[in-house]
Chain A
Amino acid sequence: MAAGFKTVEPLEYYRRFLKENCRPDGRELGEFRTTTVNIGSISTADGSALVKLGNTTVICGVKAEFAAPPTDAPDKGYVVPNVDLPPLCSSRFRSGPPGEEAQVASQFIADVIENSQIIQKEDLCISPGKLAWVLYCDLICLDYDGNILDACTFALLAALKNVQLPEVTINEETALAEVNLKKKSYLNIRTHPVATSFAVFDDTLLIVDPTGEEEHLATGTLTIVMDEEGKLCCLHKPGGSGLTGAKLQDCMSRAVTRHKEVKKLMDEVIKSIKPK
């Protein structure tokens, strides 16, 4: 009977739960789903990470290649993110060129990388004006159940921490690059941006980490990306119902707590694979 009510009046069904300050899956309004992360699973990639946020699953693979640095910045490399939402993850995506959702997510990740300065692009330069690394970060969603931006940001961060670049020297006589695959070093990750997404219901209620159904019923969304010093890299609010300053402050404090949780999880995972 509850299933029938849910199909006919999904919003009313949801409101019954919200009145009791909880959600259909049993979570509190400020509680995140179980987060799991798995690093280094793709052996052919230079760095990889698989993140599961409840049912939402995103895998990130980083490949490093050579390229000529941009002419207006000869001492910088490139970081190129791409988010792919294939038909596998949800029935609402069709195969073909990237849809709007994928493009918006790709732009969001590119903005996070740019704003947070997670990697100093100068570190990716091998020889100014001649050779630099380009890191292609491919994020593929395997299962779409809401909150794709948080999962992608976390997957990207974990994969970049896992990336090992070989040492490259330019041979002066032949002017060719010599790659030493035996000597690899980790990237210098300067900040750890963590995204926290909220959904707004009925213009007043804020819930954290919305699932796919909750996102569909929500009247607005908000994503805050914070780094460890409490600095905001991104406050992404793509329209939707209005929010007052006080509510934004609540969201920011929740984002700070989430950052601590994610950082702890990440440190545990990194520590578990380090001794090789």
Chain B
Amino acid sequence: MEEEMHTDAKIRAETGAGSSPRGPGCSLRHFACEQNLLSRPDGSASFLQGDTSVLAGVYGPAEVKVSKEIFNKATLEVILRPKIGLPGVAEKSRERLIRNTCEAVVLGTLHPRTSITVVLQVVSDAGSGAQLLACCLNAACMALVDAGVPMRALFCGVTCALDSDGTLVLDPTSKQEKEARAVLTFAVDNVERKLLMSSTKGLFSDAEFPSSAKLGPLPGSSSAWLRPRRLRNTSSASTGNRCRGVTPRAETSWGRGPLPPPPPTHPLQPEANQRPSLASRSYGLM
């Protein structure tokens, strides 16, 4: 995986240029995810990527209004609330992108005439639209997993920026995004590694595009957090499970002290603070 990343000569790994240093051998900034932190939604997740943080909650499968019901599959709804102000046209457009991406992976035919609602709240925003979209996609995916909604694959959102000399920078900071010639956001699924969603800003040539799409599945983001190696059973004071990305000693920056070493648990053994869910938890995990 790592070798493929380096054969493409046009990538440049940022070292300490952004607000936080990037992990060794990985050109992504610090990211972290926490699941099961809200009590009312069926599933919830909080995803932090660089300076952007999004909280997602999933309700479903639940009852649906007769006007919105589809006879043979579940109706998926996405609501995106910005950090400040009322939702506008840009939020509607992002809702459509996230909804269509979720619809492509969620097995809606298993729950006909029901509704699955994904609610996303932007908690902190570095001011970059593309980074926000990727973070929302990741948060939505993790929340759907936490809710136990059956999915045929997981997906991840990745942003990359093309600067004026054609160099590709993965996971750009807001400063890099502003100076870039084009910013591209992709959603890729983890089973077939196909491109699920693409949203671009700026001008770029078609020769530059395939290299950036090939790059989407490669970095640590999709391989690492989509297959969390251990589900840590954290102390009773904290709320939920944590899945860590490929970041060195990132725990402290998430606001909590160093964790005690986890008790050895079998990954598939049900843990004390997990709620039983409709579909098997092992969907997409491991």
Contacts and interface: CB of A to CB of B under 8 A. Distances in A.
Nearest to B94: A107
Contacts of B93: 103-104, 107-108
Contacts, number: 104
A253 B3 CA distance: 30
A237 interface: yes
Interface string A228-265: 01111111111111111100110010000000000000
B182 to A, nearest CB: 8
Contact of B200 (A107, A230, A234, A244): A234
B286 interface: no
Nearest to A220: B104
A250 to B, nearest CB: 11
Interface in A163-193: none
B205 interface: yes
Given A104-B92, A107-B89, A107-B90, A233 B203 contact: yes
A103 B89 contact: yes
A116 interface: yes
B195 interface: yes
A239 B203 contact: no
A235 B198 contact: yes
Interface residues of B, number: 36
Interface stretch (B5-13, B36-44, B209-217, B243-251): B209-217
Given A231-B204, A245-B210, A252-B209, A239 B92 contact: no
B111 interface: no
A236 B89 contact: no
B212 to A, nearest CB: 10
Given A237-B195, A240-B104, A232 B204 contact: yes
Contacts of A245: 195, 210, 213-214
Given A104-B93, A107-B89, A115-B202, A248 B197 contact: no
Contacts of B210: 245, 248-249
A249 B206 contact: yes
B194 A242 contact: yes
Q: Which of A104, A111, A220, A235 has the most CB of B within 10 A?
A: A235
Interface stretch (B95-103, B166-174, B234-242): B95-103
B201 interface: yes
A239 B196 contact: yes
Name the residue in B92, B99, B102 with the highest tally of chain A Cβ atoms < 10 Å from its Cβ.
B92
B34 interface: no
A106 interface: yes
Contacts of A115: 200-203
Interface in A88-120: 100, 103-104, 106-108, 110-111, 114-117
A62 to B, nearest CB: 20
A110 B201 CA distance: 11
B32 to A, nearest CB: 25
Contacts of A230: 205-206
B209 A232 contact: yes
A234 B206 CA distance: 11
A238 B200 contact: no
Given A232-B204, A245-B213, A249-B210, A237 B198 contact: yes
Contacts of B196: 237, 239-242
Contacts of A238: 96-97, 100-101, 197, 199
Interface string B205-229: 1100110011000000000000000
Nearest to A101: B96
B161 interface: no
B106 to A, nearest CB: 11
B4 interface: no
B187 interface: yes
Contacts of A239: 97-104, 187, 196-197
A260 B255 CA distance: 56
Contacts of B197: 237-240
Interface string A209-238: 000000000011000000101111111111
Contacts of B104: 219-220, 239-242
Contacts of B184: 235
A117 B182 CA distance: 13
Contact of B195 (A116, A231, A242): A242
Contacts of B95: 100
Given A104-B92, A232-B205, A234-B200, A242 B192 contact: yes
Interface in B148-198: 184, 187-189, 192, 194-198
25 contacts: A100-B95, A103-B89, A104-B92, A104-B93, A114-B201, A115-B201, A116-B203, A220-B104, A231-B205, A232-B204, A232-B209, A235-B184, A237-B197, A238-B199, A239-B99, A239-B102, A239-B104, A239-B196, A240-B104, A240-B197, A242-B194, A242-B196, A248-B209, A248-B210, A249-B210
Interface of B: 89-90, 92-93, 95-104, 184, 187-189, 192, 194-206, 209-210, 213-214
Given A235-B199, A245-B214, 6 more contacts: A232-B205, A232-B209, A233-B203, A239-B197, A242-B196, A248-B195
